[in-house]
């Protein structure tokens, strides 16, 4: 059976088009098989591709399945906001202040304030300090000197993130990853951006060791880093993160902690619209 489905490509965490993280979204994908979804995600070669479906619970507005070129993810941040933007557009931009997304990680709340969308960070599935072996892998894989890591912790909300804090933005931007040395470990690095001309409070980079790739702007990582570092008192409960600088992007994420809940937000720009045949 041949299917022709609506397709959108959006730019997430971008104040202007082509500065954030691209996402492919296929609409009305209920009849696609898992194999078809994975094959299409492998073909797009984007960090993630999503497929919108009817929700299985009345509590949700839609269901989404999220794929990298290699596997399906239970949750990811920029696919959440990008999928929500497309769902809103496909449904006449209903006047909802809050949208509920169903995904494999459960129900994710998304709030809308004008052009700004923000998702509530899901709970961590793994936290706590990194062991010495894992920290050593990270130091070798990112070319960091012993003692250069100021703090570290598991910050896994699905993709398996390990987080490390460095002293300065300059140190973050100087990293040249050795992916074989990371041995498949997904690592997020964060440091403060200080001094004259600072456009954000922190700089973030995300190294997908499993895929030997750097992600341009990463909602899930920023969510879990915020849960860790606001909880530890290292960062304030409201700040702006910059990501993608090393890749020639200008991603911007707003972080806000309200009543113990971390919200990760930004803008989503529409870039490509058409049909895709299966």
Tell me if 201 is assigned to some domain.
yes
Question: Is residue 141 located within the same domain as residue 100?
Answer: no
Question: Is residue 191 located within the same domain as residue 102?
Answer: no
Output the pLDDT for position 263: 98
Which CATH number is 117's domain given? 3.10.310.10
Question: Is residue 111 located within the same domain as residue 150?
Answer: no
Output the pLDDT for position 276: 97
Tell me if 184 is assigned to some domain.
yes
Q: Averaged over 24-29, what is the pLDDT?
A: 98
Label residue 260 exposed, middle or buried (CB < 10 Å: 0-12, 13-18, 19+).
exposed
* More confident site: 196 or 243: 243
Reply yes or no on whether the pLDDT at 1 is more than 90.
no
Output the pLDDT for position 142: 98
Output the pLDDT for position 127: 95
What's the CA gap between 265 and 214, in Å, rounded? 21
Question: Is residue 201 located within the same domain as residue 107?
Answer: no
Reply yes or no on whether the pLDDT at 274 is more than 90.
yes
Output the pLDDT for position 211: 87
Reply yes or no on whether the pLDDT at 175 is more than 80.
yes
Output the pLDDT for position 269: 98
Q: Averaged over 82-103, what is the pLDDT?
A: 95
Structure tokens at 260: 């113990």
Question: Is residue 269 located within the same domain as residue 257?
Answer: no
Tell me the pLDDT band of 158, cut-offs 50, 70 and 90: confident
Structure tokens at 171: 């140190």
Question: Is residue 60 located within the same domain as residue 108?
Answer: yes
Identify whether the C-beta of residue 267 lies closer than 8 Å to the C-beta of residue 14: yes
Question: Is residue 172 located within the same domain as residue 243?
Answer: yes
Identify whether the C-beta of residue 19 lies closer than 8 Å to the C-beta of residue 268: no
Structure tokens at 63: 């269901």
Tell me the pLDDT band of 220, cut-offs 50, 70 and 90: very high
Question: Is residue 158 located within the same domain as residue 184?
Answer: yes
198 CB-near residues (< 8 Å, 6+ apart): none
Question: Is residue 188 located within the same domain as residue 87?
Answer: no
Q: Averaged over 25-54, what is the pLDDT?
A: 97
What's the CA gap between 66 and 68, in Å, rounded? 7
pLDDT in tens, 103-140: 998 999 999 998 999 999 999 999 999 999 999 999 99
Domain containing 140: what range?
132-261
Tell me if 127 is assigned to some domain.
no
Question: Is residue 213 located within the same domain as residue 160?
Answer: yes
pLDDT in tens, 231-263: 999 999 999 999 999 999 999 999 999 999 999
What's the CA gap between 229 and 189, in Å, rounded? 12
What is the reported pTM? 0.93
Backbone angles phi, psi at 196, to 5 degrees: -65, 140
Q: Tell me the average pLDDT of the chain.
A: 96
Question: Is residue 144 located within the same domain as residue 223?
Answer: yes
């Amino acid at each position: 059976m041949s299917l022709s489905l609506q397709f959108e490509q959006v730019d997430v965490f971008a104040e202007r088009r082509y500065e954030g993280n691209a996402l492919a979204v296929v609409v009305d994908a209920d009849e696609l098989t898992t194999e078809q979804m994975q094959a299409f995600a492998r073909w797009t070669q984007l960090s993630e591709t999503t497929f919108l479906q009817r929700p299985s619970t009345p509590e949700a507005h839609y269901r989404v399945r999220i794929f990298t070129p290699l596997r399906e993810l239970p949750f990811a941040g920029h696919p959440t906001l990008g999928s929500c933007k497309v769902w809103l557009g496909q449904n006449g931009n209903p006047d909802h202040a809050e949208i509920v997304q169903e995904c494999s990680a459960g129900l994710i709340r998304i709030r809308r304030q004008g052009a700004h969308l923000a998702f509530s960070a899901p709970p961590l599935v793994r936290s706590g300090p990194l062991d010495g072996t894992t920290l050593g892998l990270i130091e070798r894989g990112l070319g960091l000197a012993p003692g250069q890591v100021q703090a570290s912790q598991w910050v896994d909300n699905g993709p398996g993130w390990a987080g490390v804090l460095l002293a300065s933005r300059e140190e973050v931007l100087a990293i040249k990853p050795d992916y074989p040395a990371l041995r498949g470990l997904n690592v997020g690095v964060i440091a403060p951006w200080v001094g004259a001309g600072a456009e954000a409070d922190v700089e973030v980079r995300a190294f997908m060791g499993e895929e030997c790739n750097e992600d341009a702007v990463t909602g899930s990582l920023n969510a879990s880093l915020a849960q860790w570092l606001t909880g530890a008192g290292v960062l304030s409960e409201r700040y702006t993160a910059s990501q993608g600088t090393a890749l020639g992007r200008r991603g911007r994420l707003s972080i806000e902690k309200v009543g113990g809940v971390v919200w990760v937000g930004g803008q989503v720009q529409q870039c490509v619209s058409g049909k895709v045949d299966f």
